[in-house]
Amino acid sequence: MSPPVRVLVVDDSAYIRKVVKEMLSRSPAIEVVGTARDGQEALEQAERLRPDVVTCDLIMPVLDGVEFIQRQMSARPVPIVIVSIAAESSERVLSGLDAGAIDFVQKPTALATEKVFDVAEELVAKVLAAAQAPIGRLRPAAAEVALPSTPNFHDRYSLLVIGVSTGGPQGLKLVVPRLPADFPVPVAIVMHMPIGYTEAYAQRLDEASSLTVAEAREGEELRAGVVLIAPAGRHLTFRRDGDGRVVTRLDVRPLDTPHRPSVDVMFQSAAEVFGERVLAVVMTGMGADGREGAAWIKARGGAVLTEAEETCIVYGMPRSVVEAGLSDEAVRLDRLTAAILERI
């Protein structure tokens, strides 16, 4: 039997520290080894206790969460899961992810115990997943891989679709900004994020990219040069109009998917509308979202790339596709853009 995952809980609220500790302690696979009231104390406790995972609030006195993450990742990288209140700025959460945090969980604004415990299952799952992330992958090396200066596009595909979860905000920043301004097909992305964060993330990715990156809107035409990110809380699918244009559809249905938006739902729709002219990419993330959708794409003659295990923060989603025999090629994160360009 494996030893329990040792966790340090960081929050300026004594009540939240107590509740987070109780939530995590419900799992026999987790041991809370310490708590801290602010970022400075967290640095000291992390050095003394050497935890496997840290859960971290963002708004704290003395040293806030973002600066703690930055300093901790410089001193000794450790998997960090942000536990933020919904009212906190999405920009602050994204800055925490940029600084090296693996994932985040929203704590409800109401501090009634029953509301706070609603997130217990999600928190436990994300802490256990974070504990599996090899330390060397917490800050993916942005190694430059030679890209063709003038790519020779083959007119083989009409759409690039990408599915990603844990580690996605960091991983996409090593893929999308390296796509050239003349990239000839539209790009659609499903990333598992809570409501209120996808628009801000799209804006950040847009600032770093030659292509236009935006949160998808209802009825928007798919166009080359534009990357659309599915809004949190709604599935992204496609339909072809009578004049041949393909436009987006946003819907809360189906309701029975583990995630909304779902990679499976988007991939299936892409296969139904574009047939063999779909190139799909499944990147780092927990679970198996994307496996069923990849089967649809392969059945219609499209191709599927998966992120290689050695660069995944969590090798869950890509593993499910590989083990189902649906991956055409497993590619390291640092050469994923090059692999996409080679096929497109």
Q: Is the pLDDT of residue 135 over 80?
A: no
Which pLDDT score, from 0 to 100, does residue 138 have? 60
Question: Alpha-carbon distance 344 to 336, whole Å?
Answer: 12
Q: Is the pLDDT of residue 116 over 70?
A: no
pLDDT single digits (tens) 14-24: 988 998 999 99
Question: Alpha-carbon distance 312 to 333, whole Å?
Answer: 8
Judge whether 192 counts as a catalytic residue: yes
Across the range 317-343, mean pLDDT stands at 96
Which pLDDT score, from 0 to 100, does residue 198 have? 92
* Six-digit token string for 116: 């706070």
62-71, 112-121, 211-220, 226-235: range with lowest mean pLDDT: 112-121
Fold: same for 5-134 and 159-343: yes
Judge whether 98 counts as a catalytic residue: no
- Say which amino acid occupies 281: V
Across the range 213-220, mean pLDDT stands at 97
- Give the pLDDT band of residue 196 (cuts 50, 70, 90): confident
DSSP bridge partners of 54: 8, 80
pLDDT single digits (tens) 255-284: 888 889 999 999 999 999 999 999 999 999
pLDDT single digits (tens) 233-263: 999 999 999 888 999 999 998 888 888 999 9
Catalytic residue among 90, 289, 327, 334: 289
- Give the pLDDT band of residue 140 (cuts 50, 70, 90): very low
Cα→Cα distances 197→66, 88, 101, 138, 169, Å: 17, 11, 15, 21, 11
Catalytic residue among 84, 158, 165, 262: 165
Which pLDDT score, from 0 to 100, does residue 141 have? 47
Q: Is the pLDDT of residue 119 over 60?
A: yes
Fold of the domain spanning 159-343: Rossmann fold (3.40.50)
pLDDT single digits (tens) 69-102: 999 999 999 999 999 875 557 888 999 998 999 9
Q: Is the pLDDT of residue 29 over 90?
A: yes
Fold of the domain spanning 5-134: Rossmann fold (3.40.50)
CA atoms within 13 A on the CB side of 306: 27
Judge whether 90 counts as a catalytic residue: no
Q: Is the pLDDT of residue 111 over 60?
A: no
Which pLDDT score, from 0 to 100, does residue 106 have? 84
Which pLDDT score, from 0 to 100, does residue 14 have? 93
Catalytic residue among 27, 38, 84, 192: 192
Nearest to 245 by CA among 186, 203, 300: 186
Which pLDDT score, from 0 to 100, does residue 155 have? 86
Q: Is the pLDDT of residue 143 over 50?
A: no
Strand ranges in 111-244 using DSSP code E only, listed in sequence order: 159-164, 187-191, 212-215, 226-229, 235-240
Question: Alpha-carbon distance 306 to 287, whole Å?
Answer: 14
Which pLDDT score, from 0 to 100, does residue 277 have? 97
Cα→Cα distances 311→5, 314, 336, Å: 22, 9, 11
Domain boundaries, the chain: 5-134, 159-343
**Cβ distance 38 to 13 under 8 Å?**
no
